[in-house]
């Protein structure tokens, strides 16, 4: 089931992010950073995003457990008002390949379309091949733009993907 996230979901959402990062970014980000990544690392960011109503959050739920999280809204780098962004999409490793990612993307696209957005963009770590293939299957196109990011002293490249509604 896909539903809107609530403030009561924040800790479980943060845990989904932390668990998924430890799996998805193994060998890409610093192992020391991943090992020390707290399950509550994203709690404050989620709270600010929800309370300020600057971002939308939805969750995938199975047996009363949050197994996936998507965050989306107005894009951060393009000043065009009709361009949205998917800030993050994480599915627990144990629940990947079960259509939760597709359902969360479909939910976000429907909401963004209703709000008048005509295009959505996202960043994908260039070495995260499974994520890149997933987004390409979901009709996102690699724009060939590269953005460099840094987390815990580890620099890595992200590719910018886009999809027209």
Residue 9 near residue 68 (C-beta atoms within 8 A): no
Report the C-alpha gap between 2 and 158 in whole angstroms.
Answer: 27
pLDDT in tens, 80-126: 889 999 999 999 999 999 999 999 999 999 999 999 999 999 999 99
Element (H, E) at 109: helix 100-114
| Domain extents in the chain | 2-118
What does DSSP assign to residue 59?
E
C-alpha 33/C-alpha 19 separation (Å) is: 13
pLDDT digits (tens, 9 = 90+) for 66-80: 999 999 999 987 778
d(CA 30, CA 106): 32
CATH class, 2-118 region: alpha beta
**pLDDT of 152 strictly over 70:** no
């Amino acid at each position: 089931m896909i539903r809107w996230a609530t403030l009561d979901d924040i800790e479980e959402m943060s845990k989904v992010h932390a668990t998924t990062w430890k799996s998805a970014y193994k060998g890409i980000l610093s192992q020391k950073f991943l090992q020390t990544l707290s399950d509550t690392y994203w709690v404050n960011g989620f709270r600010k995003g929800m309370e300020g109503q600057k971002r939308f959050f939805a969750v995938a739920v199975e047996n009363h457990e949050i197994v996936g999280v998507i965050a989306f809204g107005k894009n951060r780098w393009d000043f065009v008002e009709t361009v949205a962004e998917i800030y993050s999409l994480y599915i627990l490793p144990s629940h990947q390949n079960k259509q939760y990612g597709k359902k969360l993307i479909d939910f976000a696209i429907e909401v963004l379309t209703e709000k008048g957005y005509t295009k959505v963009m996202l960043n994908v770590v260039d070495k995260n091949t499974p994520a890149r293939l997933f987004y390409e299957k979901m009709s996102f196109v690699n724009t060939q733009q590269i953005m460099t990011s840094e987390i815990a002293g580890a620099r890595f490249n992200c590719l910018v993907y886009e999809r027209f509604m």
